[in-house]
């Protein structure tokens, strides 16, 4: 147990460092764009990048997390000194690259209609079409390195190369007065470097010794759909605001909610550290170990993020004008954001626990419900309330997305984010076996 939590601490700190750098980079880019461009132009940039990230999340098919799961199990079965997986990684990358390329081609062909629908110039869509495969594959390859039991490539690439590269290139493009397609290209280019460097790190993989590519896809398929919906859930609000209220409102909404990446990426950093440990603990029937990881990460989340959300709610009237005078009216959005994220972090990493336990169908149903709640609320509220309506719709989806799996994890495994585990029938069967 001590070794488990000690390793979690080291990897958790690395994950938090990665998350912190990434979050700061995103906030800094938002400041650069909002302070340098008119709200409509800034909204165009945010809408385009949100759509690119949303589509990349769809075409990835959750293969990054699937590779973490498969490679971690391979290490547990064969020993940490025998890192297999080369054939598996290649078998996973091929369909992702094909799907991303086909999607990118579709974007390029539909550039005209997309420009009319979203207000984003046609040249931007051509750039995003070319960048989409690199954005998708970069994330998959960086995730795969974590399946080898190390956080160093993630810390270097996701925590340094990509966020700092994006900030430097976007800032240079803004200062040069570059047109929107060049701005988006500057944002996307660091993904090429991340993909290349991660591929170099994985080059030494040996043959995959446990399971087959087909078994990987059978396990990952339900998660692929859930991950696609999760990606839509994370970015759809910005797109809906742009469609229903215009790019300027999308810029205000993005600025007011940008600080949520600080809390979300803290969760992501801890999840990156805990995921492989949860997989091994649940695979071995060690519910006490899994519960210890779950409770520890929940405490860290609350300790790290609640002061942030309380501070943001109190200081929003002074923080939001930093983005520019047009963004000063987002205080109500900040209050909704802060309250929602405090509820979400108190539930802990329930999605990660479900996935680690193989409950991918339940995860898919949860995300589907959350997306449906968000869309319905957005359609009802955005036309009348603009960015605040989108914040309320997002809040409803987030609460559903966290409370449903929290109840499921408690009922199936007896795990709680705080306090002691509760015995369940599933727990008794796992311990008996």
- Which residues does residue 84 pair with via DSSP β-bridges, in sequence order? 206
> How far, in whole angstroms, is CA 165 from its chain's centroid?
19
CB contact at 8 A, 183 and 170: yes
DSSP H or E segment with residue 19: helix 2-36
When pLDDT is cut at 50, 70 and 90, the band that residue 302 belongs to is: confident
Given a contact cutoff of 8 angstroms between Cβ atoms, the answer to whether 418 and 347 are in contact is no
| Average pLDDT along the chain | 81
pTM for the model stands at: 0.77
Is the pLDDT reported for residue 20 higher than 80? no
What tokens appear for 304 in the block?
A: 């790290």
Least confident of 122-126, 190-194, 256-260: 256-260
- pLDDT score of 423: 54
The answer to whether residues 244 and 312 touch, using CB atoms and an 8 Å cutoff, is no
Q: Which of 10-14, 34-38, 51-55 has the lowest mean pLDDT?
A: 10-14
Q: How many CB atoms lie within 10 A of CB 332?
A: 15
pLDDT higher than 60, residue 80? no
Domain residue ranges of the chain, discontinuous segments joined by +: 2-432
């Amino acid at each position: 147990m001590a070794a488990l939590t000690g390793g979690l601490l080291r990897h958790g700190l690395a994950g938090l460092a990665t998350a912190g750098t990434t979050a700061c980079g995103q906030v800094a880019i938002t400041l650069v764009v909002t302070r340098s461009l008119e709200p409509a132009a800034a909204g165009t940039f945010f809408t385009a990048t949100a759509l690119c990230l949303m589509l990349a999340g769809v075409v990835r098919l959750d293969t990054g997390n699937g590779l973490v799961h498969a490679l971690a199990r391979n290490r547990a079965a064969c020993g940490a000194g025998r890192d297999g997986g080369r054939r598996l990684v290649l078998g996973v990358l091929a369909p992702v690259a094909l799907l991303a390329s086909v999607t990118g081609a579709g974007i390029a062909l539909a550039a005209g209609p997309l420009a009319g629908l979203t207000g984003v110039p046609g040249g931007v869509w051509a750039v995003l079409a070319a960048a989409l495969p690199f954005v998708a594959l970069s994330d998959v390859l960086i995730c795969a390195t974590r399946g080898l039991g190390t956080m160093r490539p993630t810390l270097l690439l996701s925590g340094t190369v990509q966020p700092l590269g994006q900030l430097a290139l976007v800032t240079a493009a803004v200062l040069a007065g570059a047109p929107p397609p060049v701005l988006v290209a500057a944002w996307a280019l660091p993904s090429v470097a991340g993909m290349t460097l991660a591929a170099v790190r994985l080059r030494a993989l040996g043959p995959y010794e446990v399971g087959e590519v087909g078994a990987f896809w059978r396990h990952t398929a339900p998660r692929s759909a859930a991950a696609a919906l999760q990606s839509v859930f994370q970015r759809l609000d910005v797109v809906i605001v742009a469609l229903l209220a215009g790019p300027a409102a999308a810029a205000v909404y993005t600025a007011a909610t940008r600080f949520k990446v600080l809390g979300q990426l803290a969760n992501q950093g801890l999840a990156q550290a805990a995921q492989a440990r949860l997989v091994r603990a649940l695979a071995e029937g060690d519910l006490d170990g899994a519960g210890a990881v779950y409770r520890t990460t929940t405490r860290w989340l609350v300790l790290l993020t609640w002061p942030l959300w309380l501070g943001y709610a109190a200081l929003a009237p002074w923080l939001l004008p930093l983005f520019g005078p047009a963004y000063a009216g987002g205080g109500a959005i900040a209050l909704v954001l802060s309250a929602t994220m405090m509820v979400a972090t108190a539930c802990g990493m329930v999605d990660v626990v479900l996935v680690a336990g193989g409950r991918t169908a339940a995860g898919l149903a949860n995300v589907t419900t959350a997306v449906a709640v968000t869309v319905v609320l957005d359609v009802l509220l955005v036309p009348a309330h603009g960015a605040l309506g989108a914040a309320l719709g997002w809040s409803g989806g987030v609460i559903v997305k966290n409370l449903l799996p929290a109840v499921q994890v408690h009922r199936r495994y007896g795990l709680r984010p705080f306090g002691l585990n509760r015995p369940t029938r599933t727990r008794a069967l796992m311990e008996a076996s």
